[in-house]
Amino acid sequence: MTRFEPSAAQVAAFHQDGFFVVPGLFDSREISLLSQIARADHQAAAAASRADGEGGAIRLHVENELHDDIYSAMVRSRRIVGTMQQLLGEEVYHWHHKLILKEPRVGGAWAWHQDYGYWYHNGCLTPQLASCLIAVDRATRENGCLQVIRGSHRLGRLDHGKVGDQTGIFDHDRLQAILARHELVYCDLEPGSAIFFHSNLIHRSDQNKSPNPRWAFICCYNARSNDPYHVSRHPQYTPLEVWEDHRIEEIGERRLASLTGESI
């Protein structure tokens, strides 16, 4: 079990750069359990598919509800929730979580976008939302790792529109000017490492043309004061019960035993 408290430098990086990376946020056993369970649940199961406007499509599975499973144990984990509360400066609640299933050679891209570019339409008045992306597999440039534009969250919300089946930034002249003036960062991650990032941070990922998968798990949170003013596909405020970090392994071992038929 990994213990984590963000440093003052990491909190400062979130506000200055819009993101920071935490190597090994989840230990090898925790991420192994997540990988095995996620693949048992979703490898052959139907998942949403969104064309990327580049000839490919990305598969994902989104959940708005929390359950007694390893995904919810991670969402509720003190190491993530406590960090989010420090970053957003107040109580947070579960906005949603999702698995990104970027398969070898066929995994699609995500167009340049800000999460608040579309969460704005879910009734959130401010961009007081943030996400934690956890690498299930090793993420590299070759298999389509996350790319971010450092400091772009301070530029405000940009206009978004349809890019394939996705919602992305369609003001290409402004986007090119941003890329010319701000640093582009490729977020290579080892399994279990994570990136915390602001909802206005501009980011994307390329298609996976490598022989290696790039699955990722993303936990998204909203500030309590940013409770949506209307009902949408994502939930309005409800208190989030925070679980101690050891619950991840306990619940994961129980689920894995049920999959393999072994007793624990």
119 occurs within a structural domain: yes
231 occurs within a structural domain: no
Q: What is the pLDDT of residue 161?
A: 86
Which string of DSSP letters, residue by residue, matches the chain?
-------HHHHHHHHHHSEEEETTSS-HHHHHHHHHHHHHHHSSS--EEEE-SSS-EEEEEEE-S--SSHHHHHHHBHHHHHHHHHHHTS-EEEEEEEEEEE-TTTB--EEEE-THHHHGGGT-SS--EEEEEEESS-B-TTTT-EEEETTGGGG-PPPEEEETTEEEE--HHHHHHHHHHS-EEEE-B-TT-EEEEETT--EEE----SSS-EEEEEEEEEEGGG--SS--SS----PPPPB-THHHHHHHHHHHHHHHT---
Q: What is the pLDDT of residue 105?
A: 87
Domain that holds residue 72: 9-225+236-260
- State the CB neighbour count (10 A cutoff) for residue 177: 11
Rg, Å, the chain Cα set: 18
Buried b / exposed e across 66-102, counting CB within 10 Å, b at 16+?
beebbbbbbbbbbbbbbbbbbbbeeebbbbbbbbbbb
Q: What is the pLDDT of residue 136?
A: 98
Q: What is the pLDDT of residue 47?
A: 65
230 occurs within a structural domain: no
Domain count, the chain: 1
Phi, psi at 111, each rounded to 5°: -70, 160
- pTM surpassing 0.85? yes
Q: Tens digit of pLDDT per residue, the chain (264 long)?
A: 678 999 999 999 999 999 999 999 999 999 999 999 999 998 766 566 676 667 777 889 999 999 999 999 999 999 999 999 999 999 999 999 999 999 998 878 889 999 999 999 999 999 999 999 999 999 999 999 999 999 999 999 999 988 777 788 988 999 999 999 999 999 999 999 999 999 999 999 999 999 999 999 999 999 999 999 999 999 999 999 999 999 999 999 999 999 988 655
Q: What is the pLDDT of residue 261?
A: 80
Q: What is the pLDDT of residue 15?
A: 98
Closest CA to 207 of 102, 135, 51, 136: 102
Q: What is the pLDDT of residue 196?
A: 98
Cα–Cα distance between 50 and 145 in angstroms, integer? 17
Q: What is the CATH number of the domain that holds 79?
A: 2.60.120.620
Q: Which residues pair with 58 in a beta bridge?
A: 50
1 occurs within a structural domain: no
